[in-house]
Structure 1
Amino acid sequence: MILDVDAILFDIDGTLVDSTGAVERAWQAFTAAHGIDVDTLLSVSHGRRSADTIADFLPEPEREAAVAELDALELADLDDIVPLPAVAELLTSLPRSRWAAVTSGNRVLMERRLHAAGLPAPDVLVTAEDVAEGKPHPEGFLLAARRLGFAPERCLVIEDAPPGIAAGLAAGATVLGVATSHDRGSLTDATIVVGTLEEITVTVTSQGLRVSCG
């Protein structure tokens, strides 16, 4: 399949960087402190803002402090953060005006994880603090497309989790699911599904980006 798009909007955790170990360690420490079953929480947390996940498990008066607690746990653990296959080469090949990142994480944490993985932070980085509604709401992708100056319908969203795929589709974008953190069966709503970004080739053209899949 060949796609001609104006820009690519990437998720970060699970799409650009492998941060699974650090994420799970933070949630394990957090759930142990709050008497929450870690497996139940992890089953609904991936791809969502921490505040939205915490809201499912703790009463409103406790949530703000709990988010700060989790943020501190995550910032203290940048071990094992590595780029996912083909990501470094792909980002290096893209004009900075043609890509953005849209994440459910906070800005400081995402910038540090990108740095730990040896990857560049984009000029357009939409984080949890920038939106009123997190994924699966499309607000983040709509904002990123607007900041780049392109219509969302002319963007390719690359995501590894169902909430992000749903958000990209709701924004009107074409969505490529990458099966790095979820099996392919969980990503079938995406327009295209690949195992890793090694399976795509992006060529810069006079009019934008040409993405070849498979």
Structure 2
Amino acid sequence: MTSTRTPSTVVAAALLFDMDGTLVDSTAVVERTWRRFADQHRLDLGRILAVSHGRRTEETVAEFAPAGVDVAAEARRIVAHEVADTEGIVAVPGAAELLASLPTGGWALVTSAGRALAEARMAAAGLPVPSVVVSADDVTTGKPSPEGYLTAAGRLGVAPQQAVVFEDAEAGLLAACASGARTVVVGGCAAPVTSGLERVADLRDVRIEPVAGRPKPTYHLTLHRSI
């Protein structure tokens, strides 16, 4: 199959990043985590993995746990395992270089992981943690609710419409679009929500340059979209 690359330019006052699948490749540990849960409760691992990506752990446990399971306690146990298990975690290609080019205060992390898990995975991948992190601990409703992205934009002092979100999973993409932010798909998600959105294969396809003469920091992003 022949692939061409069609650049497009986006202007943004802030960049908002999902973590797992967008900045960090945690596929191996995620599969190990949910396999333990599925085996323990004799559940279908495939069904769990099909919907767990981009969602808070407790929400996934609540959906699949058999009757009588203490959902909150089970979720805490799973998260504790995840925080300790960083084997195989790596940065998504281009993530380290892109984040290194961003100014402090110009970007945020918006993740369905809790704060401790987010810090553990970012560290394992060799990536910096920004000054603004909106984790599962900071919202009342997880993705696909836009609460996390709206909160992050507010903490950075920008309107959501001035921000660009990078997301890879259906739940997160729905959240980003609902927030009003311009949304870029990272990777191969083919959910209906991706129709009409900008898309990059990974973060090597993103370049950023500051725009001079603006009262607040503003950036030109060049997206090299794979077709």
TM-score, with structure 2 as normaliser = 0.89
Alignment of 1:64-79 (within 5 A): 64-79=72-87
Largest Rg, 1 or 2: 2
Q: 2:54 aligns with which of 47, 62, 82?
A: 47
Q: 2:26 aligns with which of 5, 11, 19?
A: 19
Amino acid at match of 1:199: D
Amino acid at match of 1:10: F
Q: Percent identity?
A: 43
Say if 2:164 is the partner of 1:156: yes
Moved more, 189-198 or 6-15: 189-198
Shift of 1:159: 0.2
Say if 2:202 is the partner of 1:196: yes
Say if 2:15 is the partner of 1:8: yes
Shift of 1:156: 0.2
Shift of 1:158: 0.2
Q: 1:95 aligns with which of 88, 103, 106?
A: 103
Shift of 1:61: 5.6
Moved more, 26-35 or 183-192: 183-192
TM-score, with structure 1 as normaliser = 0.95
Task: State the number of aligned residues.
Answer: 211
Give the unaligned 5+ runs of structure 2: 1-7
Asked if 2 retains the 8 angstrom alpha-carbon contact of 1:177 and 1:190, the reply is: no
- Residues 79/61 of structure 1: CA separation in 2 closer, same or farther (3 Å cut): closer
- Aligned partners of 2:51 and 2:196: how far apart in 1? 19
Asked if 1 retains the 8 angstrom alpha-carbon contact of 2:170 and 2:189, the reply is: no
Q: 1:31 aligns with which of 30, 38, 51?
A: 38
SS at match of 1:56: helix
- Aligned partners of 2:62 and 2:170: how far apart in 1? 19
Q: Deviations over 1:76-114 (max 9, x none)?
A: 210111111111011011011110000000100110110
CA-atom RMSD in angstroms: 1.3
Match of 1:143 in 2: 151
- Aligned partners of 1:190 and 1:197: how far apart in 2? 19
- Aligned partners of 2:205 and 2:58: how far apart in 1? 34
Shift of 1:52: 1.0
Match of 1:171 in 2: 179
Asked if 2 retains the 8 angstrom alpha-carbon contact of 1:48 and 1:104, the reply is: yes
Asked if 2 retains the 8 angstrom alpha-carbon contact of 1:3 and 1:210, the reply is: yes
